Structures are given as C-alpha cells and as structure tokens.
Structure 1
Amino acid sequence: MGRRAQPQIKERLLDLCTEHVLEHGLPDRLEPLVAATGTSARMLLYHFGTRDALLRAVLQRARERQLEAWGGLLRAREGEAYPVTLARAWAAISGPDGERYLRLFGQWRDTSPQLRGADFARRATTDWLGPLADGLGADAGPELATLVLAVVRGLLLDLDATGDAARVDGAFAELLARL
C-alpha cells in the first residue's frame, strides 16, 4: 500500500525551496534544494514529480509572495496622490527587497520554455494592471496603466542590466512628474 500524500510536508518543502531560490537563484541540479530542505532528492521528486515541476511550483510561490508584498503598495490610498503611492512602491520594488525577485524573474526569462510555462509571463504582467488602473483613476483608462507598467518593467530591466540606480530612479521621478 502506498504512502498517503501529506500536503503540509509538500508546502513546507515548497516554502524552503522558494526561499533558497530567492536567495541563490534557480539551480541547475536538485542538490542545492536537497541541502536547503534537509531532505532527499527522492522526497522532492515524490512530492513534485520532476525537477522542472518543482521549479515551476517555486516560481509560482515566489510570484505569490511578490504579489502579496507589493500588491498593497500599488493600491491607491485615500487622501494620497497616486504618484506618492507609486514612489513608495518603486522604492520597495527597485530596492533591496525587490532585488531578489528581479534577479529570479530575470533568470527565469533565460530558462527553457518547459520551465517557463505557457501562461506565467502573461499573468505576471497583467496582475499589476488592475491595481495600477485603479490607482490612476477611472479617467486614465487601461492604456495609461499599461504605459506605466511598461515603463516600470523597462526601468527594472535597465536597473538589472546596468546597476545605475541614480539614473533609473531619476527616470522614474520623471515619469511621476508627468503623471
């Protein structure tokens, strides 16, 4: 008789693997995740099926953490101009707290198609449109939310590629001034 699935163990392993990947990046082998979880490769495969399935689950969990952490930062606050809200969000997203997500999702873009998953990139983009559109206001329309998101994503890519925080922060300040 086979062993019964224990979802709490799988969740704990997923959290440990996610934390490891956020700190160190996507591994090309299971061994770093084995060490991070204190379990065996056999147990990781038992719970997740394959290395790629485990890494897809890790990426999804990292994305959920990112949404939880930053989703609230993008929401409009009563009595606060939305550019002020965006400036606070930018500081978190482009600062040390955001660096590990930026690094991980940059590494993810360079991975094989089977690891990327068919719908992950679309969802990872469109998840931010709702809070941005709400914050920018009904008069702004979805086009402005799309433009702001595209600029933010481009600036994050620029920051990742160049490390020139002063220039990139200045460009973001220019965006806020034009809003």
Structure 2
Amino acid sequence: MPRPSQRDRILDAYTDLVVTSGPETVTLDAVASAAGVSKGGLLYHFGSREALLDGLLDRSRELNDADLATAREAPEGVARYYLRTSIDDPAAGSTVYRATVAMIKLSATEPRAAEVTRRCMAGWRAALTEELGDPLAADAVAALGDGIYLRAIVGDDSPGLADALEEVLRRLRT
C-alpha cells in the first residue's frame, strides 16, 4: 500500500483533530504538527484555514459518493449495506466514518459543512427510496443507521441491532 501523500496526511490530521478535540480548538499549527509537516508545508497545500476546510469538504463528498456507489453495487443491497456499515465502519474507525463524524462536528458552526452533510444524507435517502420503493421506509432505514452512528460516536456499539439486521429490514419492508 503506498504511503499517503502529504496532502492526505494533512487532511487526516485535520479530520482527527476535529473529531478528538472539536473544530473550535483546531489551529493550523496543531494540524501541521499532527501531520508531521511544517506549517509552510501545510500552507503549500492549503493556503488558509478556509482552504483546509474546503479540502475536508471535498474529501467528505468524494468519500460519501464512493461509499454510495459501493452500496449501489453491493449484492446485499443499499439498505442492508447502510445499516451494516453503520455498525462496522465505527468499529473499524474507517475513513468514511471519521470524515462523517468530523462533518457532523463542523456542521454546528460551519454552514458549508452542514450543507455538504445534508447533500450526502439526501443521496443516501434517494438510493434507499429507489431500493425500497417507499420514501417513509427509506427515511426510517436512514434514521436508524444515523442513530447507530450517533451511538457509536458516544461509545455505544448497538450490539442488539448488529445481531438483528435481517429482522429489522424485514420489519421495515412489511
């Protein structure tokens, strides 16, 4: 596996700091230090705090779009994929999960992050509606998956749901 680029290391560090410390405490110096680059190296890739945020917003959209494309191609279907990864991704600390948590935290103070997050959620609801044929069932699956993510953020791994995904989906489809 190739080593991440300096730009990717910077975005990883920014994401991790937003997730662990909260967006209001993150400084360019802290990001540079966490990424193992000089502040000049950070500014080469991201000329300002705004540019760094733009980089994270772009990355989050790309990760979401790739994850959504994977779900659409998954033999298990979009709904099961959404619920399963709502359980699996937090446990594995996946890149998509970390970016999602960062976006949720940033959404409280950054309107552009909130807009990107809403756009991503709308894409999932549309895919779920296509599969399930029912907007209400799609919204219920989305809300359930989102709730599982929220629980994961605070350290609750939803063990009962993890063992009953097929039953949950069966009930939502009837």
With the length of structure 1 as denominator, give the TM-score of the two structures. Answer: 0.66
Q: Deviations over 1:59-100 (max 9, x none)?
A: 3313312431x224421556x566654554444434312542
Identity of aligned residues (%): 24
Q: How does 1:1-150 map to 2 (within 5 A)?
A: 13-25=6-18, 26=23, 28-35=26-33, 36=35, 38-41=37-40, 44-45=42-43, 48-68=46-66, 70-75=67-72, 77=74, 84-86=80-82, 88-96=84-92, 97=94, 99-110=97-108, 112-113=109-110, 116-117=112-113, 119-136=115-132, 140-150=133-143
Distance 1:165 1:172 in 2: 11
Greater CA drift, 122-131 or 156-165: 156-165
**Structure 1's 169 and 106: CA in aligned 2 closer, same or farther, altered over 3 A?**
farther
**How many positions carry a matched residue from both structures?**
160
Q: Deviations over 1:20-75 (max 9, x none)?
A: 2344435610013323162434x54465443133123213313312431x224421
Unaligned 5+ segments in structure 2 are none
| Residues 124 and 142, structure 2, Cα contact 8 Å, conserved in 1 | yes
| Residues 125 and 142, structure 2, Cα contact 8 Å, conserved in 1 | yes
Distance 1:118 1:49 in 2: 23
- The higher radius of gyration belongs to 1
Unaligned 5+ segments in structure 1 are 1-11
RMSD across aligned C-alpha pairs, in angstroms?
3.3
